[in-house]
């Protein structure tokens, strides 16, 4: 694989989990991939391989839904896999593992949520998640220029986008939102000599099979 003197960072959300499929608050509750999520990961892996994409390293959250997605990608693409808890989803506190109606009954959402208020009473505030996202992206930059695939979760991936693109988090979850569907991904380039970040792509793949049974998007 040709060496590069800048960073290509793919930020990928995991495939559908059983928590996604059944409408639970997930946070750091460890839901595995659903059957559909496993199929999504396999099809995406085949698609990336068919496009000739390769990486120096795959880095994944250790939560099952991300780890299982990453393992499928690592095996298909023959890329080393590293698990790092800094890429885990936001700690949603007491909301984790609850259905939305249960969460609203037990822990009603306040009318106003400051940047510093812990989510689900014991979880991470928006500010804490933003700071962790900065540390997460810094951990990749310490690895040196190259191509990296991160398999993670929608909440923290949004805050990584904030940290890299110079967006400040807002109270009450106001402000910009980046849509990461299951197996959706963003591609960031970072040029260390000029300290420039570039959002190169934001991809929401529609993974289906064509008439020959091959993945398409």
List the beta bridge partners of residue 151.
12, 60
List the beta bridge partners of residue 185.
12, 203
Question: Comparing C-alpha atoms, which of 69, 15, 44 is closest to residue 214?
Answer: 44
**Exposure on the CB side of residue 147, measured as CA atoms within 13 A:** 11
pLDDT for 216 equals 34
CA angle 84/88/92 to nearest 5° reads 155
**Exposure on the CB side of residue 217, measured as CA atoms within 13 A:** 16
Could you tell me the mean pLDDT of each successive run of 10 residues in the chain, 217 residues long?
Answer: 89 98 96 98 96 96 98 98 98 96 93 96 97 98 98 98 97 95 98 97 70 35
Q: Are 130 and 159 in contact (CB under 8 A)?
A: yes
Active-site annotation holds for 14: yes
pLDDT for 59 equals 98
- CATH classification of 7-216, choosing from 3.90.550.10, 3.40.50.1240, 3.40.1190.20, 3.30.1330.40? 3.40.50.1240
The active-site residue, picked from 16, 25, 89, 153, is: 89
**pTM for this entry:** 0.93
**Helices within 142-177 (DSSP H only):** 154-165
Secondary structure class of 211 (helix, strand, coil): coil
**Domain limits of the chain?**
7-216
């Amino acid at each position: 694989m040709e060496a590069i003197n800048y960073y290509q960072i793919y930020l990928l959300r995991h495939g559908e989990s059983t928590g996604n499929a059944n409408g639970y608050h997930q946070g750091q509750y460890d839901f595995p991939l659903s059957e559909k999520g496993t199929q999504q990961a396999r099809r995406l892996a085949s698609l990336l391989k068919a496009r000739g994409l390769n990486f120096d390293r795959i880095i994944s959250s250790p939560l099952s839904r991300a780890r299982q997605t990453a393992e499928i990608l690592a095996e298909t693409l023959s890329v080393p896999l590293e698990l790092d808890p800094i890429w885990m989803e936001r700690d949603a506190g007491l909301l984790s593992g609850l259905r939305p109606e249960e969460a609203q009954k037990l822990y009603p959402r306040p009318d106003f949520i400051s940047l510093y208020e812990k989510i689900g009473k014991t979880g991470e505030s928006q500010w804490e998640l933003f700071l962790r996202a900065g540390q997460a992206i810094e951990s990749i930059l310490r690895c040196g220029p190259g191509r990296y695939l991160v398999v993670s979760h929608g909440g923290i991936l949004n805050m990584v986008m904030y940290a890299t693109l110079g967006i400040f988090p807002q109270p009450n979850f106001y402000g910009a939102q980046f849509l990461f569907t299951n197996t959706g991904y963003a591609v960031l380039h970072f040029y260390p000599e000029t300290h420039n970040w570039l959002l190169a792509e934001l991809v929401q793949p529609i993974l289906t099979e064509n008439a020959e049974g091959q993945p398409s998007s």
